[in-house]
């Protein structure tokens, strides 16, 4: 029995050190050396203080800001500790009612906007934490933000372009606009005025 116990415990100890200590330290070291921004959460800082991440959506409700995609996280919107979708299907009455409420809220915020509302402004993503909106969703909100900030639509459109990213490697995903980055650009321009 002891002939089997000693090699088993030695192997357990060795594998624990290799896979539980050495490997994580090596991966962390390589990540910090090659991709430090991503390894530290893709944080966005202002005046040396972290105010958000490029990877996690934030709730904006003020008309002078572009609004993010709705969040399905609980107990509050954009809760990064509770990622997940609502799991409501297209025939679910609760989803239909929620989408109608979101459409009504968008119409109330910008009653003169006759454009069709992009889907990503009234539905949640699979994670419930999507930090990006489509260029169409940004364009839909452009007039409201321009009015609220007292700026021209062409000027706000230039900020949308700055916060936009195309498909990854030219083929993966869709074009997108990072809402936090866009709103920070707008705030920076307002403070520079």
Q: Report which of 166, 188, 184 is spatially closest to residue 175, judged by C-alpha positions.
A: 166
Whether residues 143 and 100 share a domain: the answer is: yes
Contact 32, 44 (CB under 8 A): no
What's the pLDDT band for 193 if we cut at 50, 70, 90?
low
124 alpha-carbon distance from chain centroid? 11
Lowest mean pLDDT among 120-124, 142-146, 148-152, 169-173: 169-173
Which tops the pLDDT comparison, 172 or 87? 172
The whole-number pLDDT of residue 1 equals 60
Whether residues 100 and 22 share a domain: the answer is: no
Taking residues 171-180, report their average pLDDT.
Answer: 91
Which tops the pLDDT comparison, 88 or 187? 187
| Domain interval for residue 36 | 1-40
Whether residues 25 and 57 share a domain: the answer is: no
Overall pTM surpassing 0.85 (yes/no) = no
Contact 138, 168 (CB under 8 A): no
Whether residues 5 and 52 share a domain: the answer is: no
Whether residues 47 and 31 share a domain: the answer is: no
How many domains does one find in the chain? 2
Q: What is the pLDDT of residues 150-171, one digit of tens each?
A: 999 999 999 999 999 988 888 8
Whether residues 73 and 9 share a domain: the answer is: no
Element holding 132 (H helix, E strand): strand 132-133
Element holding 133 (H helix, E strand): strand 132-133
Whether residues 128 and 166 share a domain: the answer is: yes
Whether residues 97 and 160 share a domain: the answer is: yes
Whether residues 73 and 25 share a domain: the answer is: no
Whether residues 2 and 72 share a domain: the answer is: no
Lowest mean pLDDT among 44-48, 114-118, 184-188: 44-48
- Helix 135-149 to helix 179-192 angle (10° resolution) is 20
Rounded to an integer, what distance in angstroms lies between the CA atom of residue 163 and that of residue 178?
6
Q: What is the pLDDT of residues 39-88, one digit of tens each?
A: 888 888 888 888 888 888 888 989 999 999 988 776 777 777 777 777 77
Whether residues 7 and 20 share a domain: the answer is: yes
Whether residues 80 and 12 share a domain: the answer is: no
The whole-number pLDDT of residue 51 equals 82
Q: Report which of 83, 123, 86 is spatially closest to residue 101, judged by C-alpha positions.
A: 123
Contact 29, 142 (CB under 8 A): no
Contact 117, 140 (CB under 8 A): yes
Residue 172: DSSP 8-state: B
Question: Phi/psi at 76 (nearest 5 deg)?
Answer: -140, 165
Residue 103 CB neighbours (<10 A): 13
């Amino acid at each position: 029995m002891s002939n089997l116990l000693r090699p088993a415990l030695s192997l357990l100890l060795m594998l624990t050190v290799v896979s539980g200590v050495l490997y994580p330290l090596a991966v962390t070291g390589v990540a910090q050396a090659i991709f430090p921004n991503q390894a530290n959460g893709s944080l966005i800082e202002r005046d040396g203080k972290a105010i958000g991440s490029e990877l996690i959506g934030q709730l904006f409700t003020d008309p002078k800001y572009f609004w993010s995609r709705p969040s399905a996280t609980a107990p509050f919107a954009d809760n990064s500790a509770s990622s997940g979708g609502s799991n409501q299907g297209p025939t679910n009455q609760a989803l239909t009612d929620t989408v109608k409420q979101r459409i009504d809220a968008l119409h109330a915020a910008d009653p003169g906007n006759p454009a069709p509302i992009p889907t990503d402004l009234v539905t949640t993503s699979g994670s419930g934490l999507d930090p990006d909106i489509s260029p169409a969703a940004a364009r839909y909100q452009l007039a409201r933000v321009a009015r609220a900030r007292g700026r021209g639509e062409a000027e706000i459109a230039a900020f949308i372009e700055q916060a936009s990213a195309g498909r990854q490697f030219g083929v993966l995903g869709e074009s997108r606009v990072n809402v936090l980055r866009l709103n920070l650009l707008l705030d920076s321009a307002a403070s520079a005025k």
